[in-house]
Amino acid sequence: MEGSKLIEFLRTLEDISHIKDVDALLEQILFETRKIVNAEAGTLFLVKDNFLSFEYVQNDLLYGNYYNSNEYLYTKKKIPINNKSIAGYVALTKKSLVIDDVYKIPDNTPYSFNNRFDELSKYRTKSVLSVPLINNRNKVIGLLQIINTKDMDGKVITFTKDDSVLIELFARQAAVAIEKAIMTRELILRMVSIAELRDPQETGTHVNRVAAYSVEIYKNWAKRKNIPKETIKCNKDILRIAAMLHDVGKVAISDIILKKKGRLSEKEYEEMKFHTIFGAKLFENSSSEWDDMAKDISLNHHEKWDGSGYPGIIRDINKTNIKLKNGKKGEEISIFARIVALADVFDALISQRWYKKPWKKEKVFDFIKSESGKHFDPSVVDSFFQMKDRIISIWEKYS
């Protein structure tokens, strides 16, 4: 085993051990796995309802680098766990496969290669390393399929025995990390479900979408601002979880207001505004960057770029009889709250709610454009539209 690959392997294990959000983790696992063996492309699957669900798809040749990995390409595509496909066979047998050329698989082999994607995209899959993600209970929870490893000159070559051993070791550790991250996500969704009992529009699918939109918008915004890659990686991990809890403060608002069918009175609307402060209070005793961001987003996601939002500058959120004044303006509002503000409004408009029908996509896009410089930060609006196709894919994935 080459020393450089071993060093890269150990560094990668250290990196993924710090990622808490499951989506950020899956994306990073696939990216880092490809990096270890210098692979051009890959797919990460998770086992869901006895199928292999496409979670992340990356291809440097088709989609560009890490920033542009097309993880939502196969929004609802899944593969049966059986011996018909390469991935299905590996998940079924719990054994890794190394294939030198998928177009030269012997006829007497139970599995086969489906070349439909290659034909549609004009891509050429050749070498494949397919490794199951097996947890500590010897259960397959997913699969890593790595495609087209390259030599130093960029020529596609075959995966070595060392590559297989190294990725199998990594997959074992990755499976443990994935299960921990899934547990964290489930805990967050349980907190959301408490809010959902109070507010019928605050659902798990809504917060999943808002969080995913927010991460995609932030990645584009940060890249355009030349934010360092390591900072982006750290922030998007925290952002996804924090964004899911943007409206958790509604648990402290009266049912009379939350479940009212019809327009709120001026007094009721003023009371509703305090959900931002109640949410921030939940994260007051900060013990991490995640607490800090969750507090910030909870407090500020209803602020507006032009200063017409709420709750405004609150010196002490624990004071009694807080008076809501003029809203924060422009960059007084953190970039994370500015992003979640747009993501939340977009999802509310495009989704079915008990009190309204969904708006058509073009009407929503026109509204967001019209609110650039008013409700929304123009730079965030620009990033939103640059990621528009990805945003729609997320909406469909979690619909």
Report the pLDDT value the prediction gives residue 186, as an integer from 0 to 100. Answer: 87
**123 domain-assigned:** yes
The CA-CA-CA angle for residues 334, 338, 340, to 5°, reads: 115
**172 domain-assigned:** yes
Using pLDDT thresholds of 50, 70 and 90, give the confidence band for residue 195: low
Using pLDDT thresholds of 50, 70 and 90, give the confidence band for residue 68: low
- Spatial neighbors of 21 by CB under 8 A, at least 6 apart, are 181, 184, 185, 237, 238, 240, 241
Report the pLDDT value the prediction gives residue 308, as an integer from 0 to 100. Answer: 96
Least confident of 73-82, 157-166, 363-372: 73-82
Same domain, 174 and 223: no
Query: Letter for the amino acid at 32?
Result: E
CATH number at residue 317: 1.10.3210.10
Question: Which whole number is the average pLDDT over 235-247?
Answer: 92
Report the pLDDT value the prediction gives residue 14, as an integer from 0 to 100. Answer: 72
Most confident of 73-77, 200-204, 339-343: 339-343
> What is the reported pTM?
0.82
From 151, 181, 211, the end of a domain falls on: 181
Same domain, 147 and 294: no
- Would you say 163 and 39 are in contact if contact means Cβ atoms under 8 Å apart? no
Same domain, 162 and 76: yes
From 131, 149, 181, the end of a domain falls on: 181
Residues 214/218/219/223 CA torsion (nearest 10 deg): 170
- Residue whose C-alpha is closest to residue 384's, from 399, 372, 374: 372
Using pLDDT thresholds of 50, 70 and 90, give the confidence band for residue 245: very high
pLDDT tens readout for residues 131-150: 999 999 999 999 999 999 99
Same domain, 233 and 114: no
The b-or-e profile of 12-39 (16+ CB within 10 A means b, else e) is: beeebeebbbbbbbbbbbbbbbbebbbb
Question: Which whole number is the average pLDDT over 232-248?
Answer: 91
Higher pLDDT, 396 or 109: 109
pLDDT tens readout for residues 317-372: 988 888 888 899 999 999 999 999 999 999 999 987 766 788 999 999 999 999 99
Residue 117's Cβ-side half-sphere holds a number of Cα atoms within 13 Å equal to 15
- Please give the distance of CA 277 from its chain centroid, rounded to a whole number: 26
Report the pLDDT value the prediction gives residue 197, as an integer from 0 to 100. Answer: 62
User: What domain count does the chain have?
Assistant: 2
Using pLDDT thresholds of 50, 70 and 90, give the confidence band for residue 251: confident
* Measured distance CA(301)–CA(260) in Å, rounded: 22
The CA-CA-CA angle for residues 315, 316, 322, to 5°, reads: 95
Burial class of residue 135 (count of CB atoms within 10 Å of its CB; 0-12, 13-18, 19+): middle
- Would you say 79 and 85 are in contact if contact means Cβ atoms under 8 Å apart? yes
Give the range of the structural domain holding residue 248, as residue numbers without chain letter: 199-397
**118 domain-assigned:** yes
